[in-house]
A and B are shown apart, each in its own frame.
Chain A
Amino acid sequence: MNVFRILGDLSHLLAILILLAKMWRSKSCAGISGKSQVLFALVFSTRYLDLFFVFISLYNLVMKVIYLLCSYITIYMIYGKLRKTYDRENDTFRLEFLLIPVIGLSFLENYDFIPTELLWTFSIYLEAVAILPQLFMISNTGEAETITTHYLFFLGLYRALYLANWIWRYHTEKFYDQIAIISGVVQTIFYCDFFYLYITKVLKGKKLSLP
Chain B
Amino acid sequence: YALHIPHDEL
A174 and B2 within 8 A (CB): yes
| Minimal Cβ-Cβ distance residue in A for B4 | A111
Contact call B2/A9, Cβ cutoff below 8 A: no
Give chain B's interface residue range (CB within 8 Å of chain A). Answer: under 10
Interface residues of A in 109-155 (CB under 8 A from B): 111-112, 117, 120
* Residue of chain A at shortest CB distance from B7: A120
Please tell me which one of the listed residues B1, B2, B7 contacts residue A50 in the complex, with CB atoms under 8 A apart.
B7
Q: A12-B10, A175-B2 are in contact. List 15 more A-B contacts (CB 8 A).
A: A47-B7, A50-B7, A56-B6, A56-B8, A60-B8, A60-B10, A63-B10, A64-B10, A112-B4, A112-B5, A173-B2, A176-B1, A177-B4, A180-B7, A180-B9
The distance from the CB of A57 to the nearest CB of chain B, in whole angstroms, is 8
Contacting pair B10 A54 (CB below 8 A): no
For the complex, give the distance between the alpha carbons of A56 and B10 in Å.
Answer: 11
A117-B9 Cα distance, complex, nearest whole Å:
14
Q: What chain B residues lie within 8 Å of A35 (beta carbons)?
A: none
Interface size on A, residues (CB 8 A): 25
A159 to B2, CA, bound (A): 21
Contact for B9 among A5, A67, A112, CB less than 8 A: A5
Nearest B residue to A56, CB-CB: B8
Residues of A78-130 at the interface with B, using a CB-CB cut-off of 8 Å, are 111-112, 117, 120
Residue of B nearest to A1 (CB): B8
- Shortest distance from the beta carbon of B7 to any chain A beta carbon, whole Å: 6
| Residue from B1, B4, B5, B7 having most chain A Cβ neighbours under 10 A | B7
Task: Name A177's closest neighbour in chain B (CB-CB).
Answer: B4
- Determine how close the nearest CB of chain B comes to the CB of A165; give it in whole angstroms: 8
Q: Are A54 and B6 in contact (CB under 8 A)?
A: yes
Residues of A within 8 A of B8 (CB): 56-57, 60
By Cβ-Cβ distance, the 10 closest A-B pairs, closest first, are A175-B2, A54-B6, A111-B4, A56-B8, A63-B10, A9-B10, A50-B6, A177-B4, A120-B7, A56-B6
